[in-house]
Structure 1
Amino acid sequence: MRDEGNERDDHELSALLDLDKLIHEPARLTILAHLYVIESADFLFLMRQTGLTSGNLSSHVSKLEAAGYVGVKKEFINRKPHTMVSLTTEGRAAFDEYKENMKHLLDSLVVIPWILG
């Protein structure tokens, strides 16, 4: 017979395990959070906003693109390379799910008064 405390612990652990590990990484979370609001941005804008180096941003964007969360469009404008990164429908849905799972996880935290002293 299971007690309610263990069921609650299992449920909280389940919420933690439900978090999308790809999104949960801080740099990718920051990229997606920006794109969630503005939908698309050029590479330099994302670099400035996130504080990531060109190489780091490129690596993280590649992982998000491979997952289908962002689309990347490369072109030349006045003979200069220009890269646009856009949040896909899948990326928006994944970010929405991540937000809900994170809210659920944080809402399930219990403060034990005797620990606070």
Structure 2
Amino acid sequence: MLAYAAQGLRSHRESPVGMQLRAHLERSILACRRLPDALQQAVEELALEPAEVYAGFMRVLKADADRARAVMELVLAQPDIGSQLIDNLNAVIHVRSLLTDLFVIDEVVDRFSAEAAVETA
């Protein structure tokens, strides 16, 4: 989406990349819907503790995913999606918060997985 935002197009119809934009947004919206359940499943499968700490983080992640999804759905509902609108979507704090949540949990799970691998070796 960053590359599309930099093109300065008034409509997604003006570029082959722009024509793929709607499909990308639809996949992102679906991912936002599925993300909280996927994280819950990972926490349970990995038996991450303390459970209440992870539950609190999951509430934050779900709220951020819901907010980011709402903004993406608003953009997707527009008949024409220009570069400026995508640039603004990229800057929305809710999208950035969700990305940061993902970076944090990815680091936590990676460290947990690495520690578990050392313990079983």
| Same fold per superposition (TM over 0.5) | no
TM-score by length of 2: 0.36
Q: Which has the higher strand share?
A: 1
Q: Which of these two proteins has the greater Rg computed from alpha carbons? A: 1
Q: Which has the higher helix share?
A: 2
